[in-house]
Amino acid sequence: MRGVMMHAPGDVRVEERQDPKIVEPTDAVIRLSASCVCGSDLWPYRGVEEVTSAVPMGHEYVGVVEEAGGEVTTVRPGQFVVGSFWASDNTCENCRAGYQSACVHRTLMGTLGAQAERLRVPLADGTLVATPDTPPQDLVPSLLAASDVLGTGWFGAVAAQAGPGRTVVVVGDGAVGLCAVTAARQLGAERIIAMSRHEPRQRLAREFGATDIVTERGDEGVARIKDLTGGLGAHSTVEAVGTEQSMTQAVRATRPGGHVGFVGVAHGVALPMEELFFSLVHLHGGPAPVRQYLPHLIDLIWNRTIDPGKVFDLTLPLDQAAEGYRAMDERRAIKTLLSV
């Protein structure tokens, strides 16, 4: 089968890879309908994360079950499924508490490489969720978004306790940040402020439910948030980037007693603890337990209540994956969908 391999920073190739097979009786093999490039894939692409040898890429996926292991009971061959970027058994104590991304048996799907024609999914019963029927083609992008960026943005908004009567700030205008805007709207937030300097992303943030746009960054951005909130700051802030600047900006934009949900993959972030101590801000975040939200998100998408697939503003065949990486790295695309 064909699949994406990263050999070194900036060196992405589509190559022949071994077809996946059932290894454990709890596995399933799916034929992918679509995959995509994630913002987190750009960390190794840019050399921020070390790449010492060729590695398979991709952790977001939707497709049709081709084969299921003997112990798989919740999905069957022929069903269209959406899976989380963490494989989880969905039965351990951490899973039952709603933190499937901390499952004691978890597997990071990126190590198996979902930017490919086929994929082995461990712990299929706890990882995959079948759609009510084979989806129409126009729903596939939104269902793919649910595999990571929508679920991650949703977790960020939940961790920030977005809800009725609350002002929510979203730091980061990538796919996760934009999906956090959608989540905040669905959770009933009264006011949603998206921080963005890019007009196409601003338009999409507005379409997803943002009531205000702030173009300033850093301390200027914080000052603007304070101006919009009577000098207090936001009740809820979602940090969806993963840099020290974005995290500091999120904390400073939040009022005392407020909540920051941080879902950007952190790189080189050091927070001033004395400032954090006196901020009286709650922090909660980490790798999103997407599996917790998948049934609800699939329902919202299936009923066309939300359309997160609009974050995909570039669609390419799998063979052109390298261009998809380049376009996102150069900010010519918010998110690249790879059709298989």
d(CA 62, CA 143): 7
This prediction's pTM: 0.96
Structure tokens belonging to residue 59: 């952790």
d(CA 157, CA 177): 10
What own/partner pairs with CB < 8 Å and gap ≥ 24 does 320-325 have? 321/4, 321/12, 321/14, 321/37, 321/57, 321/115, 322/12, 322/13, 322/14, 324/37, 325/12, 325/37, 325/41, 325/42, 325/45
Report helix, strand or coil for 246.
Answer: helix
Structure tokens belonging to residue 10: 């900036």
Specify burial of residue 38 (Cβ count, 10 A radius: 0-12, 13-18, 19+).
Answer: buried
| Sheet of strand 55-56, all strands in order from the earlier edge strand to the far edge | 11-16, 2-8, 55-56
Residues 56-84: b if buried by 16+ CB within 10 A, e if exposed? bbbbbbbbebebbbeebebbeeebbbbbb
pLDDT of residue 208: 98
Quick one: which H or E segment has residue 142? helix 140-146
In a 13 Å sphere around the CA of 208, the CA atoms on its Cβ side amount to: 32
Specify burial of residue 208 (Cβ count, 10 A radius: 0-12, 13-18, 19+).
Answer: buried
Residue 189 is classified by DSSP as B
- Digit-by-digit pLDDT tens for the chain (340 residues) are 999 999 999 999 999 999 999 999 999 999 999 999 999 999 999 999 999 899 999 999 999 999 999 999 999 999 999 999 999 999 999 999 999 999 999 999 999 999 999 999 999 999 999 999 999 999 999 999 999 999 999 999 999 999 999 999 999 999 999 999 999 999 999 999 999 999 999 999 999 999 999 999 999 999 999 999 999 999 999 999 999 999 999 999 999 999 999 999 888 888 889 999 999 999 999 999 999 999 999 999 999 999 999 999 999 999 999 999 999 999 999 999 999 9
Task: Count CB-CB contacts under 10 A for residue 124.
Answer: 27
DSSP string, 203-218: HHHHHHT-SEEE---H
pLDDT of residue 271: 87
Residue 135 is classified by DSSP as P
pLDDT of residue 268: 84
Residue 249 is classified by DSSP as H
